[in-house]
Amino acid sequence: MHTDFWSLAYQTLSTVSSPAQLRGQMVKLYCQCLGHKKFILFSITPNNHELTAYPESPETFASMGLDIQYKHIRSSLESSLLDFTKTESYVLLPLFLRNEAIGGLLLSRLEPKTQNSLILLNKIFSNFIDKLELQKSNALLAEKLDKAQLQLETIKKIAQAVTHVGDIRQLLSLVLKTALDLVQGGRGFIMLQNEQTGQMEVRVASGLPNPLAAELINTGKLVMAPLPQNEGIQGRVLQSGKAVLLQRQQGEFEEILGMDRGANSIMCVPLMVKSKAFGVLYIGNETHLDPFTQNELDVLTILSAYVSSAVDQARLYTLATTDELTGLYTRRFFTAKLAEESRRAERYKRSLTLLIIDIDHFKNVNDTFGHETGDHVLKSVALTLRTLLRQNIDTAVRMGGEEFAVLLPETPLQGGYTVAERIRSQVEAHKYSFRNEVYQVTISIGLTAYPENQTKIEELLNLADQALYQAKAEGRNKVVSFPLLRD
């Protein structure tokens, strides 16, 4: 073989950047070396050791006059690392990657001179295969490093962002979305431990079998039944404070809101403050994707460490400002919120409507059906308010006992009256059921608005109270406004 051929071989292979290009150049060079002699270039599939031939198909062995099967080739490669194997009917030259046979060249007759050239050519090919594999490994490593850097930057950004989010649901939704994006998860939820009962409560969710259920949970319009703190994967993580990665093939999946259906792996990491877990972050992926690995679990653990403090602070703030029974804001929060919204309305000349709501004859409900039924009514009315009001804009408050208040920013008196009437009619139409008892309740509503009341904004609460008293005096189950409006 001329020296020019070897120079050409090196120059040709130096431009190769992919396995497909390498295979094409190898076929060309083999053709130049062998002339018109038939040959088969083949590779070994790593997982099952099957052989794939190029450019011929396995059936063409017979057309070459070779009495050989794939198992004979595989046996020859696995039994020896010789550079050259020859029998009476065929010649086999293997290709190596780090001293492991990955394929080779198969042909029938061979002259000694050509044989030596082919052995050298295969060594050249093996060197370039090693080079391509190294380039591929380096590229994968660089990709992993870039991905890890991006993930870390994302976690740092989210850690800064959550410190400015006061609403617990908004904050948890932001954390869950970030977690799903970071590890390419298809479903997930965040559970927090109830301080009073110790049970685990789903606060936000994504990817539930029923998308509407997730939306209702995230807006507080649907409350899932709490789960025991010492059961299931969430209980294990909460009690141990250690992250868990489960694979479907390991048979360790557990039913939680149907979240494991269609997932091939799940991760659950604790939310912790001062070495004590107060919640968990759960993420699952899809069956058509690769299972989660320790890398993804480490990413979630880092995210949890960054955001846990902010989540805990928001959780404690929510406990301090939220009525335990109804989940609405407390009167103390209302006082501050009314002052804030009043200043904004007055400064920017915007409308602000205030509703005061009272459940009619609530004492009779307690006396007739018991205080548990009365609590159920309070929670049901609160849920009606959350359902009908604008999320993150309007504010619903339990003032105490059976009295509620609603703040409607950017809403004039007529708009507020429409909202109030909608609330009143829906409560009236609802049939409450509790412990096999079915009953109905009604509410009275008084409202006023700035600037329609033509008085100081500080008088909003007093005027709304007066309107409520008038609604009760006129027979209850009605809406009265100040100034007076009618349907």
Q: Which residues are catalytic?
A: 402
Integer angstrom CA distances of residue 172 from 67, 207, 392: 68, 15, 14
What does the block give as tokens for 95? 């290709």
> Looking at residue 227, what DSSP letter applies?
B
3-state helix, strand, coil in the chain (%, to 5): 50, 20, 30
Residues 427, 406: Cα–Cα separation, whole Å: 15
Sign of CA dihedral 69, 75, 76, 81: positive
CB atoms within 10 A of CB 297: 19
User: What are phi and psi for residue 215, nearest 5 degrees?
Assistant: -60, -45
Please list, in sequence order, all residues whose beta carbon lies within 8 angstroms of the beta carbon of residue 287, skipping any fewer than 6 positions away. 248, 262, 263, 264
Instruction: Enter the tokens of residue 138.
Output: 């380096």
Q: Residue 92 and residue 89: Cα distance in Å, rounded?
A: 10
How many Å apart are CA 113 and CA 121, to the nearest integer? 12
Q: With beta carbons less than 8 A apart as the criterion, state whether 272 and 304 touch.
A: yes
291 secondary structure, DSSP code: P
Phi-psi region of 443 (alpha: psi -120 to 50; beta: other; left: phi over 0): beta
Q: Which amino acid is at 353?
A: T
Distance in angstroms (rounded) separating the CA atoms of residues 445 and 453: 16
- Rounded CA separation 197/226 (Å): 10
